[in-house]
Amino acid sequence: MNYAISTDEFERLRSLVYQECGISLDEHKSPLIVSRLSTRLRALDLDGFGAYYDLVAQDPDGEEFTRMLDLISTNKTDFFREPKHFEFLRDQILPSLKRDKRVRIWSSACSSGEEPYTIAMALFDGAADPDQWDFRILASDLSTRVLAKAASGLYDEERVRSLPSEVVRRHFLKGKGSHAGMIRVRPHLAAMIAFRRMNLMDDRFPITSPLDVIFCRNVMIYFDRPTQERLVNKFYRYLKPGGYLFIGHSESLQWIHHSFTQVLPTIYRKEG
């Protein structure tokens, strides 16, 4: 079956997505939505977008909503994506925390895990005595599908092809037999990370101790300005004085009201 979406159906879907996860779908993008979701409607044997809306709207925390989100947004990520952030973490932030040897970091839209595992590698390799440090990384995303992949720590070997071989050897195990062609994150990295589902639109986050760094990269581009502003000001509250916020290379806080000081183009600091 070939599907079409009416203006009313598109508007209802658009406002549901905005309300639940802050993603602002462009009003001219209805053909894109039709092409991305049609296969799903076909698989579910639905007769149109009205029925699909009813299905996702009845359970916005459910699996179908996650699938829809995965189809309309991107989960694209990489190990050491935007490497300057990890160098800054290792060379500037880590040394400044060496008195207490306690580091709390939140990777707030972690997708399939490459970002939090890279944070873990930067911390582990940056500390001369990693066993003496208390490293804790909270890694969260809205999509349960990507979180399951992240928590498995299992990746296609291709994903680390561009990393130096000693980094791969130190932090990954090579799959054998039925796992040939795959690599698994070593336990010393996995032990540093807790994965959980969290929605950046929530008013409060289940975070009790103030954070040293928040990574929120390559997700704010989907949010409109008021949503970005609310989120950035929430982040401010969860950081320690002196803590940092890292955003994606194509994102900027230029047009929103906030109290951070810019340190580098995509690195912001809560003064204190």
Ligand X SMILES: C[S@@+](CC[C@H](N)C(=O)[O-])C[C@H]1O[C@@H](n2cnc3c(N)ncnc32)[C@H](O)[C@@H]1O
Active site residues: 36, 141
Contact 196, 107 (CB under 8 A): no
CB-nearer residue toward ligand X: 46 or 185: 185
CB-nearer residue toward ligand X: 38 or 108: 108
Per CB under 6 A, does 17 bind ligand X?
A: no
**Among 74, 209, 261, 262, contact with ligand X (rule: CB under 6 A):** 74
Helix (H, G, I), strand (E, B) or coil at 75: coil
Relative orientation angle of helices 63-72 and 144-152, to the nearest 10 degrees: 90
DSSP 145: H
Per CB under 6 A, does 141 bind ligand X?
A: yes
CB of 147 to ligand X, least distance (A): 9
Binders of ligand X among 239-258, rule CB under 6 A?
248
CB-nearer residue toward ligand X: 10 or 86: 86
CB of 50 to ligand X, least distance (A): 24
Gap between the Cα atoms of 51 and 73, Å rounded: 21
Task: Look up tokens 């003496």; give the residue.
Answer: 132
Half-sphere exposure in the Cβ direction for 128 (13 Å, CA): 2
**Among 30, 111, 118, 228, contact with ligand X (rule: CB under 6 A):** 111
Count of residues engaged in binding ligand X, rule: CB under 6 A:
24
Stretch of 9-17, 169-177, 217-225, 232-240 lying at the interface with ligand X (CB under 6 A): 217-225
Is the Cα dihedral 86, 221, 267, 152 positive or negative? negative
CB of 143 to ligand X, least distance (A): 4
CB-nearer residue toward ligand X: 17 or 103: 17
* CB atoms inside a 10 Å sphere around CB 266: 20
Per CB under 6 A, does 219 bind ligand X?
A: yes
Per CB under 6 A, does 142 bind ligand X?
A: yes
Stretch of 26-34, 75-83, 84-92, 166-174 lying at the interface with ligand X (CB under 6 A): 75-83
Question: Measured in whole angstroms, how far is the alpha carbon of residue 245 from the centre of its chain?
Answer: 14
Instruction: Kindly report each contact of residues 234-240 with a partner whose C-beta sits within 8 Å and lies 24 or more positions away, as own/partner.
Output: 234/203, 234/205, 235/108, 236/260, 236/270, 238/106, 238/205, 238/207, 238/210, 238/211, 238/214, 239/210, 239/211, 239/212, 239/213, 239/214, 239/270, 240/210, 240/211, 240/212, 240/270, 240/272
CB of 231 to ligand X, least distance (A): 9
CB of 58 to ligand X, least distance (A): 19
Binding site for ligand X (CB under 6 A): 21-23, 69, 73-77, 81, 109, 111, 115, 141-143, 146, 199-201, 217-219, 248
